[in-house]
Amino acid sequence: MGVSLRTALLSSWILRLQSPGPNRLKPDYASAFNNRGNARQAQGDLAGAVRDYDEAIRLKPDYATAFNNRGEARQALRDVAGAQKDFDEAVRRSARLK
């Protein structure tokens, strides 16, 4: 069974963030951490995804999408209270941007 193109592309984000050298993404790029969290979540690494979403939020505290994504990962981990808190925060921060 082959690897899907989406999985391959998502995996490349993980490798680019972890690799030294000129192809490494900027460590302060919140979207990169959010995207890597998405890749990890798609691969079933929910704890790793939460860590990446944490970093995206640390770098960009008003990043509503990262709060929502972290809420989804926490929900999958059965952390209902944490998920609800993140979903509420995502809604609150989205409203502030309008």
Give residue-wise pLDDT tens across range 71-90.
999 999 999 999 999 999 99
Average pLDDT over residues 25-46: 85
pLDDT at 21 over 80: no
Domains held by the chain: number: 1
CATH classification of the domain holding 21: 1.25.40.10
**Cα separation of 75 and 58, whole Å?**
20
Domain housing 70: 5-97
For the four alpha carbons of 11, 12, 14 and 20, in that order, the dihedral sign comes to positive
Averaged pLDDT of the chain: 83
Which percentage of the chain shows pLDDT scores above 70? 69
